[in-house]
Amino acid sequence: MVIQKVINNNVISAYDENQQEVVIMGKGIGFKAHTGDAIDESRVEKVFRIENEKLSRQFQEILENIPLEHMQLTSDIITYAKKNLNVQLNQSIYITLTDHINFAIQRQVQGIQLKNALLWEIKKFYHQEYLMGKYAINLLNEKLGTKFSEDEAGFIALHFVNAEYDTTINDTFAMTNMIQGILELVKQEMGIEFDEESLHYERFVTHLKFLAQRLYRHELLKDEEIEFAKLMENKYPGEYECSKHIAEYIEKEYGGQISGEEIMFLAPALYVVYAALYGIFTVITVLVGFRAGFCFSAGATDLLFSASLPAAKNTWMIIPLGIAAFIVFYVVFRFAITKFDLKTPGREDDDVEAEKKVDLGSSDYTTVAATILEGVGGAANVTSIDNCITRLRLEVKDSSLVDEKKIKSAGAAGVIRPSKTAVQVVVGTKVQFVADEFKKLCK
């Protein structure tokens, strides 16, 4: 095979022997390579065959700016899930999950934490997919040193649910809420408690999954199935009456609600201040002759064991250095926070506080979307609208018009700027509802 396109140093595209486009991944496989060059087979680590041309293009675009290690880990996770779920997954999983995991890593570095409002339901209704999510976070934590929690396992599980049932994020959220609502209704109507470990409960939940799937695909019952329903009405009137109430519930609560996520204010600029001060005090410890196997930033245990070493010198200096560091760090941090109005957890902008803040726990997605739209400079400034499982992904013409304070006043957990024109708003599990309203407002 020959190279058709160099995506980055570690990813290229080519055509196989059947003239089908493939994406090939390998360390350094694209380095100093050009279109038409023969592929160095020794560098090939992964080959992706995505039949849908549009999906293949999207996959290549995403891979342009993603580290090789993130790609490899995501591929390993998908391979593991395919083997253990034993189901057909939509090829879009390579795009959605790769993008999600790469962003989740960035999100953790920046301190943005999201609570998964559907975690309990995901564990109960999509247990196998949740186990795949657990495998994913364990692998990521082991290989990358991240500290992902079970909330992230739930988010990853939803990607597998979407790929398995070939549904949108919006449908998956609504279907999950619907199933939970039906179970609660049955418990109240029939006066029963479910044995969640029983085979009957598992079968009932499985039936509800397919019921929800049919409803969102608008697949109606056939006439003979309606006749069977009439038979059930005569034989089991109590149960049938309950099923009628379920139908009423579905009609009334179509696209049910989810609880909100926590909002966190970030101060990444303070880390720059910290790094600078740490460097200064490191130099000072060297200049004053302090030597104990570390600089000024260590604990009592380190000092106790290091002070007895033959090379240790002037270890008593740790006390005045520590006091000086405390004073300097406090004064500089306080000055930086107040002077430049840096955001730390629990602190809000006065102007944002004064604004009418939109509650993402409500169902007024139009208002939320309108606030975000105003924050990105209006519809005329938006060139592209997309979303993943937690983020509203936008492209804008003029980035100077983007007002992050305004966007956060809508209840967003954070705003990410991956490129000059790209704006990603961290909304959480309600992102599809917000995205739908956002698109309507931009028409």
Handedness of CA 192, 193, 194, 197 (dihedral sign): negative
d(CA 384, CA 323): 53
In 10 A of CB 54, how many CB atoms? 9
Strands 21-25 and 11-15: antiparallel
DSSP letters for 359-398:
-TTSS-HHHHHHHHHHHTT-GGGEEEEEE-SSEEEEEES-
- Among 249, 255, 248, which residue's Cα sits nearest to residue 437? 255
d(CA 91, CA 378): 34
State the Rg of the chain over Cα. 27
DSSP letters for 408-437:
HTTT-SEEE-SSSSEEEEE--TTHHHHHHH
- Catalytic residue check, 242: no
The span from the first CA to the last CA of the chain, in angstroms, equals 44
Cβ neighbours of residue 186 under 8 Å, at least 6 residues apart? 192, 242, 246
Cβ neighbours of residue 95 under 8 Å, at least 6 residues apart? 55, 58, 59, 62
Q: How many residues does the chain have?
A: 443
In 10 A of CB 424, how many CB atoms? 23
Q: Which residues are catalytic?
A: 388
